Amino acid sequence: MHARLRAFVTIADNRGFGPAARSLSITQPALTKQIQALERELGGTLFTRGRHGASLTDFGEALLPQARDVVAAVDDFTHRAHRLSRGEHGSLALGFGLSAIDIAPRAVAAFRQSYPDVEVGLEDLPSAVQADRIRTGQLHAGFVRLPVGDDLHQRALRRDHLVVASSTPVPREVIGWLGGQRLVRLARIKGPGLAAQIDRLCAARQIRPGTLHETHDLQTVLALVAAGVGPALVPATAARIAPPGIAFTALRDPEATWDVGIAWHPVQHTALVDNFVASVLAPEPTA
């Protein structure tokens, strides 16, 4: 029906079967058959043919506006479907964690330059929660602390490490010093990966720093450190959002480092997800 309606509209626009056939890149007999079939289906004659081409009958004149609307709607539907199938349109649900607080926004901004019609949602979630939501289809991909399990595709993007955030000088023997400190901490429920990393470091070095204050977001942790409440162990990337007055001291210890990367479902992914992952993994352009 759509091809026949397009033929009907094209003949009306070109005022003749010959020009319309050339416009549609089909033979004139094939075009005539399409119109005859459409007329049989509609129950009336659409055109009268004369020496000067084809003219619309009253029946055809009455149907032409709606035929144009149908052809335009189908064309729009087809165009949108093709864009969806190529991953150029739609929506993405993404997650990110503490260590990707800078990577994720940059990745989304770069992706939207190439795919401006894609809606992107970005939610701050612990890596374990992101992994679970990717498995259940609630997230399309996530920027996570690696590894997140063999059942998900994952690629490392960089390494992160623990640093001491403090408003006062930190001694050179920082590990031993940490053992005697009470720390400002991010609540384990909000940063389970960070808490586990700190636990591993403390267990490996046999230190047991206390807890001075616990809060539910990293910005508050940093604000308390800046106010002189006490030191904190945070990812190095936290320096990007820190207020003035904080010094960061790196911990040169293998137990203080981890990989940060992107994870996505190996099966439940679309061209849109593939395009996003490819954008994230593409080499950054050189200046």
Residue 195 belongs to domain with CATH number? 3.40.190.10
174 and 192 fall within a common domain: yes
Total domains in the chain come to: 3
Encoding tokens for residue 159?
A: 């390494």
Q: Give 93's strand partners.
A: 121
In a domain? residue 207: yes
Q: Which of 65, 85, 105 is the last residue of a domain?
A: 85
In a domain? residue 103: yes
145 and 171 fall within a common domain: no
Q: Which pTM does this prediction carry?
A: 0.76
Per-residue confidence at 269, pLDDT binned at 50, 70, 90? Answer: confident
Residues 65-93 have a mean pLDDT of 92
In a domain? residue 244: yes
Q: Residue 35's domain is classified under what CATH number?
A: 1.10.10.10
How confident is the model at residue 50, as a pLDDT? 80
How confident is the model at residue 98, as a pLDDT? 86
Q: Which of 42, 59, 85 is the last residue of a domain?
A: 85
Domain that holds residue 78: 2-85
52 and 99 fall within a common domain: no
- pLDDT one-digit tens code per residue, 5-43: 999 999 999 999 999 999 999 999 999 999 999 999 999
Half-sphere exposure of 181 (CA within 13 A, CB side): 22
Encoding tokens for residue 237?
A: 């990337």
- pLDDT one-digit tens code per residue, 177-212: 999 999 999 999 999 999 999 999 999 999 999 999
96 and 41 fall within a common domain: no
